[in-house]
Every structure is written in C-alpha cells, then in structure tokens.
A and B are shown apart, each in its own frame.
Chain A
C-alpha cells in the first residue's frame, strides 16, 4: 500500500515560504506575539497565507504558486505590507534573518496546537532551540521521477543557496564566525541531512513505506532534509536558505532556484549519482562557515575553486534559462551579491560593527525588512 502518490504539478512553477521573527520594539528580543498578530490579520484580507510556527515568536508566510519572478516578488511585497501594518498596531516588529542574535531559547513559548505540542514533547529542548528561521522554495515537477532527478542534481548547488542566503552570523549573543549558524541547529535532529539516493519514485515510495513500517515517520513532514520531495504539492522543497533580510532577496533566490531547475531539466548535463554526495557535507560546511569565501569542490571534475567563482559561473550558465523565465533582473541582483555586494550576514556584521549593539542590529534588520532602506 502506498499513500505517497506524487501529485502532478506544472513544471517549474515556484512558491516561497518564509519563517519570520516576531520582535518587541523595546529591546528587539523575540516576543510572544504570533497568536495576537494572526488574530488581527485574520480580520482583513491580505495576499498570501500567514500561519503560526512552532513557537509564539515565529510566523510563516507563504505565497501562492507562480510561474514568473515579478508576480512572486509583488505578492511578497503585498504580504510584507499587510504584516508590517498589523505589527505596527500591536507594537511588534518583524524581521528576517536565519536566527535571532541574542534570544534565550528557554524563554520561548510553544504555540498552542496538537502538532506543535507533539513536537515539543518529542524533541524537548530541541524544539525550542529550533527557533531558527528559514526560507523554503518549492519547485513544481511533472512527476516523481523528475522530482528525484532534480532533487539530487540540485544538491550540487546547495552551497550556493546557503552562501547567498546566509543571515545568521550571530547566535546566543556571540559572533559564531559562521555566515549561517542556523543549519547546525537543524543537524541535531535525527532525520535531518540529505535524502537517500534513488531516482525512481517507486523506489523512494518503498523507502518511505519501510521507514513508516518501522514507525520512524508518519509523513514526509517528519524528514528535515535539506531538499525533500513534497508529493502532495507535486514539488521539491529546498530548505537550506536562511530567511533573508528582505523580501526582494527572497524572491531573487527563488528565481535563481527556478532558473537552475530549468537548466538542469532541459540540458540534463549532470547525471545524479551517489558520488555527488561524497563532497556534499564538506561543501555545505564551507558555505555555512565562510559564505562566499568558502572553498568549493566540484563533485564531477574534483576541482577546487572559491565558492564565489562557482556561483558567478553558474549564474552565467543559467542566464539563457533565466531570460526565458523573465528572471534576468533577479540574477543581476544575485550576481552583485556574489560579487562585491555580499550576503546578508556581511550586512549584519557591518551594522553591528557600527553600533556594537545586537539590539540595535535587530532594530536595523526590522527596518530593513519593512522596506525602509
């Protein structure tokens, strides 16, 4: 018996989910505000979908399904406007960023709801330490085999996603020296990491059924993989992005993933094998720790090069596909970030350098998120 039927979806459609921080305006610590915010937002109509997350200091927003970058960015800006307006009335601030720089995880409150209660009971302190904020990008696939092809081929580019989105250099009050400290909070979970290698949906279904018969998982939700298939949506979901500090960056990252997907599916030059994963954890660590300055080992050619170079040449390579998808502007922005502009972790370190105050850094971050600068 299988319940894991892959719903067909229009290929190369994209959707974005963002986990966001709910802060007080006093010292910009995380605060208990999600349920009040959601109650207020429920009164008025707004674009997208806004949901609770596991703690009261987190909310998750998601867009509808898009085929193009521009309308996706527009919808994200609309969601942001509704959120900022509601937060203002409740004296709350909203910010992006992969982790809060100085929150104490023991202060977090679990949002009321059966699934959150279950997770909290199961994972104990991990559930509260899991107060980290990611961006998830869904990419539509016509069938399960393509989804698995894409999932494994994309694994080569996971370091790109990490370095471009990294926005969690500070954690528990200190500079972690990582550009993205968030991913290591996820590594603590038993079902994190990468998906097992298989390129046939039937094989994957078999694996899932066995895991379920052991009683290890109940649904795909129990896997915290970097990239996981989402059969009920007919998508693969890339989960390694830190939530960027701006919705513009979030939209651009989704557009890059979409262009990469088209490049991989159309040109089919990269044949997924288990060997892709020999360098996976090395590259992933380099990207988390050093961002764009990290070292990158090409799993096919075995050549070493700075991650920055690999990102820039990959942006070049997917250019024609991005133009086809009307996402040229998004790639121009990311090219700038990979070149001189830097990622959000760099922005955060510079902001902290000016004020020497993590509270002030979060205040600046919340201003940046609301689009003021």
Chain B
C-alpha cells in the first residue's frame, strides 16, 4: 500500500484539533438553537453540547483531550474574570455600606446553612466546611455572560455582578484557610495556617497591581483603538495566568484584582470598555462547552438527592441574606427576590476546587465528591436559566432587536 501514501489514514480521526473544532461547532449551533427557538440563554446550549460530546456521553472529547485543552479554558475564564473585575465598582460598597453587609450576610448564611445540613448528615466537620465554602461562590462567568447576552442594565444586574464577584472571593479565601487548617489538623505545621492565605491574598493583589500598571502604560501608548486594546488585554491575561501559576498564586484573585485595579487606577479613562464582540462569543463557546464536557455524571445516581438538598439549602441561605437587608440597601423586595434567584449558579471553578481537594485529601471519600459533583451538574444547567429568568423578570434585559 506504500504507493498510496497520499491517501489519508484513519489515524487523523483521532486528532484532537478535529474534535475540538467539532465541539465548538456543535456548541455554537446548539447555542443558536436555544437562543432563537427556545428563547433561553445560549450558554445552556454550549454546556449541553459539551455534555453530549464529552467523555461521559459520545466520548469524542476524552479526558486526555480535556487535559490538553485546559489552556483554552484558562485563558477564556481569565478574560471573563478580568472583565468582571473591570466592571464591578468597589467604590459602590463605600457609597452604600448596606451592600457590603448584604454580601457578607448572604455568604455567611448560605455557608452556615450548607455546613449545618452536611453535619446533620454526619459528614466530617472539616469536609462539611470545605463543601460549604465552595457553595458560597456564585459563578462569575455565568452571571456576566448571561447579563451581557441580554444586554441587561439595572439594579439586579449590577448587584448580581458585585455579589458574585465578592462571594467568589470569599469562597476562595475560606477554602484556602480551611486547607491550611486541615494541614494543622493532619500535619501539624502551624506556620502554613498563617502564612499561606496571607501569601495568596497579598501576592495576588500585588501581581494584579503590577499588571494593571503595565496595562495602563500600554493604553497610554496604544490610544483608544479598541482592537489594539483588546489584543493587549488578551496578551496580558495570558501572562497573568502564567505568572500566577508559576508563583502558585490563585488565578481567580489575580485576574479579579488586575481587572479592578485597571479600572480604579484609570483616572483619565483611557481604557475603552472591553468589547469582546465576536471573539467574545468564541471564548464563551469554548469556555462553556469545555465546562460541559468536564461535568462528571458518574456519581450522579449516588449524589443527586443529597445534592438537591444542598442546592435548596444554599438557595434558602442566599435568599434570606439578600432579603433581610433589601430595604436598607435600597432595593425593592421583588427585585431582591430576583437577585437571590440570580445568585443560584454555582461556579465551574468549584469543579477545580473539588478536584484539588480530592487530590490533597483522598481520605475525604467519594461520598462528598458525589454530592458536590452532582450539585455542580445541576447548577451548571439550571444556573444560567435562573440568571436569565431573574434579569428578564426584573425588566432589565434589552428588547430583542
């Protein structure tokens, strides 16, 4: 057969690039289907395509491929986090301190509710605390993507973005401290307890500051041409992720602080808002289809019921926190209720956290991971629908054009 060397051989069907392309294609088609015919957020379609083609269904994208494609996941998530950091205004917390109180209350009540429930179900307290910490976070990526797709503006939208940013930070910090505390309990190295969280927070802030400085210096020279600014930002986000990983700093905190400081330090408003446009659609299709493919269904039959309970308790906790301070924070009750619904999506980042936790502490067992994975599966699909519903009902979505 050597003389037919020019014919393709079947091995190319195993090419990762091919299946990655197919995944993105399937995602974009499913997304359009959802948006146009079902009038539902397109990211549900992206996630659905990921699930369908992922290792646990069609298997076109296997676990190894997912590992290789992680870089795309990280860069797109990085861009989304940067954009979120740029969009939220921490100065608002100063002008309306009741918002900070709302944020702390919804986070702590939902933490206590999930923790309490798991302890009642005989989960080891340290493990229960870690799971509860993960449950505190609202997915920043889902919230900002749905808000942007709907071109939503208004109090529910702005507060949702702010609360999701803050509770993601709390979740991350709480989890780091719990890891450190677990170190003490299992390995008795107390210095780690104090120094590790400190290193993470201060390190991420300083790296964010450095990057923001570079970004603004760049803007001064690139001027207001949005395409140049956009490419500059993408490059800096890649550099940020690489540096954060090398320094063992949290990517989430680094990119949020990069975004926040870029805005705070931009006194002359040189930075035109990040117009992701078509590139943004690609990034989001990649992000959510890969997240969908990473969802782990294998333990769904064990964990589903408990996960449902966790989702319900978490929602109750967040709702209570938001409603309690609605009036002093200047929000009508109806919008506060919608805001609580919007906080539902649990972070895809939580997936990585659970995996980290399992690799560090395999003794925590499969019971909890089954519950957490199942909860994430549920909220990855229901979460975008919840945000979509909340913003539509609040009357903050743009009219369809």
Contact B155–A36 (Cβ < 8 Å): yes
Is B399 at the interface (CB under 8 A from chain A)? yes
- The 8 residue pairs across chains A and B that have the minimum distance between CB atoms: A32-B153, A360-B269, A91-B92, A88-B95, A89-B96, A89-B330, A359-B269, A36-B155
Please, how many angstroms separate the alpha-carbon atoms of A255 and B122 in the complex? 76
Cβ contacts under 8 Å, A36 to chain B:
154-155, 335
Contact A90–B89 (Cβ < 8 Å): no
CB distance from A103 to the nearest CB of B (A): 12
Contact A107–B330 (Cβ < 8 Å): no
Cβ contacts under 8 Å, B59 to chain A:
none
Q: List 18 A-B contacts (CB under 8 A).
A: A25-B89, A26-B273, A35-B395, A36-B154, A86-B330, A88-B95, A90-B96, A91-B92, A91-B158, A106-B401, A107-B151, A107-B398, A109-B399, A355-B269, A357-B269, A357-B270, A359-B269, A363-B269
Cβ contacts under 8 Å, B396 to chain A:
32
B contact residues, total (Cβ < 8 Å)? 27
Contact A89–B95 (Cβ < 8 Å): yes
10 other A-B residue contacts (CB within 8 Å) besides A90-B96, A355-B268, A357-B270: A24-B153, A25-B89, A25-B91, A26-B87, A33-B154, A89-B330, A90-B155, A90-B330, A109-B153, A109-B399
Cβ contacts under 8 Å, B158 to chain A:
24, 91
Is B248 at the interface (CB under 8 A from chain A)? no
Is B224 at the interface (CB under 8 A from chain A)? yes
Interface readout for B263-305 with A: 1 if CB under 8 Å, 0 if not? Answer: 1000011101100000000000000000000000000000000
Chain A residue at minimum C-beta to C-beta distance from B399: A109
Cβ contacts under 8 Å, A86 to chain B:
330
Contact A357–B268 (Cβ < 8 Å): yes
Is B332 at the interface (CB under 8 A from chain A)? yes
Cβ contacts under 8 Å, B153 to chain A:
24, 31-33, 109
Please, how many angstroms separate the alpha-carbon atoms of A35 and B251 in the complex? 38
Please, how many angstroms separate the alpha-carbon atoms of A26 and B153 in the complex? 12
Is A27 at the interface (CB under 8 A from chain B)? yes
Please, how many angstroms separate the alpha-carbon atoms of A24 and B269 in the complex? 14
Please, how many angstroms separate the alpha-carbon atoms of A36 and B153 in the complex? 11
Contact B269–A109 (Cβ < 8 Å): no
State the B residues within 8 Å of A (CB). Answer: 87, 89, 91-92, 95-96, 151, 153-155, 158, 224, 263, 268-270, 272-273, 329-330, 332, 335, 395-396, 398-399, 401
CB distance from A173 to the nearest CB of B (A): 11
CB distance from B143 to the nearest CB of A (A): 16
Is A49 at the interface (CB under 8 A from chain B)? no
Query: Which of B89, B155, B270 counts the most chain A CB atoms within 10 A?
Result: B155
Known: A359-B269, A360-B268, A360-B269. Contact between A91 and B154, CB under 8 A?
Answer: no
Is A177 at the interface (CB under 8 A from chain B)? no
Interface readout for A218-260 with B: 1 if CB under 8 Å, 0 if not? Answer: 0000000000000000000000000000000000000000000
Interface readout for A105-133 with B: 1 if CB under 8 Å, 0 if not? Answer: 01101001000000000000000000000
CB distance from B371 to the nearest CB of A (A): 37
CB distance from B103 to the nearest CB of A (A): 14
Q: Which residues of A331-373 are within 8 A (CB) of B?
A: 355-357, 359-360, 363
Cβ contacts under 8 Å, A359 to chain B:
269, 272
Please, how many angstroms separate the alpha-carbon atoms of A33 and B273 in the complex? 20
Contact B269–A91 (Cβ < 8 Å): no
Is A3 at the interface (CB under 8 A from chain B)? no
Cβ contacts under 8 Å, A24 to chain B:
153, 158
Chain B residue at minimum C-beta to C-beta distance from A361: B269
CB distance from B40 to the nearest CB of A (A): 21
CB distance from A245 to the nearest CB of B (A): 18
Chain A residue at minimum C-beta to C-beta distance from B156: A36
Is A188 at the interface (CB under 8 A from chain B)? no
Please, how many angstroms separate the alpha-carbon atoms of A266 and B172 in the complex? 75
